[in-house]
Amino acid sequence: MTVKIGTLIDRLQRVSLQVKELTAKVEKAKADKEAAKKLVLDQLKSLGLESARGNLATVTHTETTIAEVVDRKKVWAYIQRNKATDLLQFRVSNPAFRERLDAGKKVPGLKSFVKHDLSVTKR
């Protein structure tokens, strides 16, 4: 027995709404977690502690230095001058790739594929 397309679409919409509701709950939980982390960090700092524990967990304050690009041209010049490609994370821009494809250009080392998806709109 074949399921009617309308029934399948309605099922897709119901599942999409479930995902939306769950995503909202996850986002709220993430925000609550970040707020709790800030409170714990502030408390650790005010008490002059590097770590502390509760009944359920132990926390340790850690620090990591990260890069923030403030001048792309200078960074790119440095990378080129010093052959410092290890500073880069490799990812191709899909809009720039499509632009080249539309212009009839080929980019060595890349191939295209068509990703199929559905656009679902609530009625």
Q: List, for residues 94-110, the tens digit of each pLDDT value.
A: 999 999 999 999 999 99
User: Domain count of the chain?
Assistant: 1
Asked if the structure places residue 57 within a domain, the reply is: yes
C-alpha to C-alpha distance for 33 and 58, rounded to whole angstroms: 15
Look at residue 61 and tell me if it is in a domain: yes
- 116 lies in some domain: no
The pLDDT > 70 percentage for the chain reads 100
Coil/strand/helix, residue 68: coil
Tell me the residue range of the domain where 87 lies.
5-102
Mean pLDDT of the residues in the chain: 93
Over residues 74-97, the pLDDT tens digits come to: 999 999 999 999 999 988 999 999
Burial of 59 (0-12, 13-18, 19+ CB in 10 A): middle
pLDDT in tens, 10-41: 999 999 999 999 999 999 999 999 999 999 99
Evaluated on CA atoms 79, 84, 88, 91, the torsion sign reads: positive
**Residue 114 domain-assigned (yes or no):** no
In a domain, 50, yes or no: yes
- Domain assignment of residue 120, yes or no: no
Specify if 113 maps to a domain. Answer: no
On whether residue 9 sits in a domain, the answer given is: yes
